Amino acid sequence: MIRVGTGFDAHAFDESRPLVLGGVTIPDHAGLSGHSDADVVSHAIGDALLGAAGMGDIGEMFPADEKWRGASSIDLLGEVRRALGSQGWAVVNVDATVVAERPRLAPHTVEMTNRIAVSLEIPFEMVSVKATTTDGLGFTGRGEGIATFAVALIENVG
């Protein structure tokens, strides 16, 4: 049996924090506001995986309490993978689209892809991370934050 899930996350910029996307710290740019490290890429992928398995979302798995304050979202993504595995699910592939006017993300997508693949314990080729803009439209277009859409395919392995 295979199942598909989708995920979405968005956060506003926060000048006091580093920018972390897909487990990669992007230099020389404001970070994102959030309880953990606010990694919208890892959050959207985590929600897609949990949704595919019918296991809720990352807010349920990692509530906004002191235990998870400042947590590394790429590490939390590994926890999502382990939770799926405990229910007999394996990650087949994930695809994420990051929506941001700035910073330019193309130089970082290979490293993000690698970090996500390692966290999910799947081949590099089974992860896709790409970036786009909204040509100035909406909150991302105004440079107020970053959003990510993700889709994931999982299969039942036992």
**Cα gap 46→62, rounded to integer Å:** 11
Say if CB 32 and CB 13 are below 8 A apart: yes
Strand partners, 100: none
Confidence (pTM): 0.97
How much is the pLDDT for 111? 98
Residue-averaged pLDDT of the chain: 96
Encode pLDDT of 103-119 as tens digits. 999 999 999 999 999 99
Q: Has residue 67 got a pLDDT over 90?
A: no
- pLDDT classification of 64: cutoffs 50, 70, 90: confident
Q: Which residue has the tokens 């439209």?
A: 137
**Domains in the chain with CATH codes:** 2-156 (3.30.1330.50)
